[in-house]
Amino acid sequence: MQFTVKSGDPEKQRSSCIVVGIHESRRLTEHAKRLDLVSKGYISDVLRKGGIEGKPGQVLMLHRVPNVPSERVLLAGCGRERDLSDAQFVRLSATAAQTLNDMGVVDAVTYLPELHVRGRELPWLIRKTVESTREALYRFDQLKSKKDVARRPLKRLTLSIPNRKVMPDANRAVAEGIAIANGVELAKNLGNLPGNICTPTYLADQAIALGKEFKSIKTHILNESEMKKLGMGSLLSVAKGSRQPPKLIVLEYFQGKKGDAPVALVGKGLTFDAGGISIKPSADMDQMKFDMCGGASVIGTLRAVAELKLPINLVGAVPASENLPDGAANKPGDIVTSMSGQTIEILNTDAEGRLILCDTLTYVERYNPRAVIDIATLTGACVIALGKHASAVFGNHHPLVHELLNAGKHSYDRAWEMPLWDEYQDQLKSNFADMANIGGRDGGAITAACFLSRFAKKFHWAHLDIAGTAWRTGSDKGATGRPVPLLTQYLLDVASSK
Ligand code: BES
Ligand code: MN
Ligand code: ZN
């Protein structure tokens, strides 16, 4: 899929299709008016006859509009003028892309980026047009023997801009949109792969492949014996119940100033979570193949950053393992010693994410990071608390939490802060070890974050619980690629604050 930007009037474009907006109720946008004028009222006539009301998401394809050189015109409903929200814009732009693709339009010019979205400016609309178009056309069909491909798929989309002055900003927004979409797509593909294909070794191989594709990324994989030497007793205990060897995937991207402290992203890479001996109920257990989406988002974000050549120092670390029941698996009551030296009583083997993350948090201490952000499908309790629209964010440093919240708002990949108060820490008390790995039913997402905070004392740290946002269920079951947009925006902000 190719994206370009261009300024120029719709009635002068020679393309297979022009996309213009119609507001509610049947009000022409400026660009629709121009087409209406040259066609001597053809468009307003269609509207008068009830073709389209202008509700967000409605579309109507017109063929051979008089005096318009382009073959077709797609009218796209845009809701009430001056009242368009982020969500509506993203949805209507995806619907437009889907319609073009379905109707055999190979190249089109869209005027939707010139719409007015509350609180947003042109570069945002351009970036989101690119992202939502890519999202709409995404299919995960690599494992289907018969692929359902469009006969004439959309190949080129030209995004209109009001004048040439904004060209540099617009081009940058396109490049950002493409890089984010590529990162999202990589995270989705990894997430959607089943556990029998996407094993810890497979994830590691993909990270190595990314290092080959981008010279700026250096990948190292730590194997079991190296982790043993480092004393990662907690991480290794989770992998004991699996026949797949665990991997600690480390990606280094050092394109900032020499000596600048890096940001470290730590992503849970649990390639299948059956719960271990504290086995999960069988209904919907297939969804636990998505338990590596945090790790996938780290790999996807590194891809986006490398493509944008951001002048920053960044480390990605992904502990990868399965969590299965087995004779050698962790048992409730087992006590393990983490790399930090702290001991952990494993009261529930299904609270395994924190067990692999804690040693990885200790591992990244060696980079003296300026900030560490972990991303994990950590708790079902987070889905109960926030549902599927917001990721939870916790942290031990307020400016960092705020930077992430703002990056989430800006990228429309939102997060919501949850408390990390000392009072909750008491729930992790163990009679036999330094701490238990669970804190009871109350505030389950919070006590999971409390557990991690004990391994994050030496740096500024934030934790994103993406259990509700990393994948969709139901008829469009699949990984979302979140929070790659949030993380990339955060790193764009880090790069521009230098
Ligand atoms: N990967 C799960 C969390 C999860 C569950 C995410 C459902 C999305 C949907 C995690 O490893 C887990 O099993 N957490 C337990 C923790 C509990 C035992 C304290 C949970 O949430 O039930
Ligand atoms: Mn689990
Ligand atoms: Zn898990």
pLDDT of residue 50: 87
Give the model's pLDDT for residue 149: 86
Check which CATH number belongs to the domain holding 142 and give it: 3.40.220.10
Are residues 315 and 262 in contact, defined by beta-carbon separation less than 8 angstroms? yes
pLDDT at 426 over 90: yes
Residue 168 placed within a domain: no
CA angle 174, 179, 184 (to 5 degrees): 120
Mean pLDDT of 145-157: 93
Catalytic residues: 280, 354
Mutation to probe ligand 1, out of 235, 379, 465 (largest number of atoms < 8 A from CB):
379
> Does residue 498 surpass a pLDDT of 80?
no
Of 202, 214, 234, 157, which is closest to residue 437 (Cα–Cα)?
A: 234
In a domain, 364, yes or no: yes
Do 96 and 197 lie in a common domain?
no
Residues 120 and 215 in one domain: no
Among 137-141, 149-153, 289-293, which is the least confidently predicted range?
149-153
Q: Which one-letter DSSP state was computed for residue 470? A: S
Residue 368, classified by CB atoms within 10 Å of its CB into exposed (0-12), middle (13-18) or buried (19+), is exposed
Report the 10 Å Cβ neighbour count for 272. 23
Q: What are 393-420's pLDDT values in tens digits? A: 999 999 999 999 999 999 999 999 999 9
Q: pLDDT band for 82, please (50, 70, 90 cuts).
A: confident
Residue type at 402 in one-letter notation: H
Provide the domain limits for residue 371. Answer: 179-497
- Domain with residue 325: its CATH number is 3.40.630.10
Mean pLDDT on 350-374: 99
Q: Which two tokens stand for residue 417?
A: 């802060």
Residue 95: CB atoms within 10 Å: 19
Q: CA of 295: how far to CAs of 87, 181, 289, 329, in Å?
A: 26, 17, 12, 23
In a domain, 173, yes or no: no
Q: Is the CB of 467 under 6 A from ligand 1?
A: yes
Same domain assignment for residues 9 and 150: yes
Residue 307 has pLDDT above 80, yes or no: yes
Residue finishing a domain among 100, 127, 161: 161
Pair 107, 157 in one domain: yes
Q: What is the tens place of the pLDDT at every residue in 366-382?
A: 999 999 999 999 999 99
When divided into structural domains, the chain yields a total of 2
90-129 confidence digits (pLDDT tens): 999 999 999 999 999 999 999 999 999 999 999 999 999 9
457, 275 Cβ separation under 8 angstroms = no
pLDDT band at 310 (very low <50, low <70, confident <90, very high): very high
Are 456 and 392 members of one domain?
Answer: yes
**Does 291 sit in the ligand 1 pocket, CB within 6 Å?**
yes
Q: What is the pLDDT of residue 497?
A: 93
Read off the pLDDT of each residue in 59-81 and give the average, rounded to a whole number: 97
Q: Atom 8 in ligand 1: which residue has the minimum CA distance?
A: 467
Mean pLDDT along residues 38-58: 95
Asked if 101 and 234 sit in the same domain, the reply is no
Cα 412 to ligand 2 centroid, rounded to whole Å: 28
Last residue of a domain, one of 107, 134, 161: 161
* Residue 187 sits in the same domain as residue 274: yes
% of residues, the chain, pLDDT over 90: 98
CA distance 473 to 258: 44
Q: What are phi and psi of 486, to 5 degrees?
A: -60, -50
Residues 31 and 149 in one domain: yes
Best probe residue, ligand 1, of 350, 464, 473 (max atoms within 8 Å of C-beta):
350
Q: What is the pLDDT of residues 172-222, one digit of tens each?
A: 999 999 999 999 999 999 999 999 999 999 999 999 999 999 999 999 999
Q: Is the CB of 444 under 6 A from ligand 1?
A: yes
What value does the mean pLDDT of the chain take? Answer: 98
Instruction: Give yes or no: residues 382 and 277 share one domain.
Output: yes
CB proximity list for 41: less than 8 A, separation 6 or greater: none
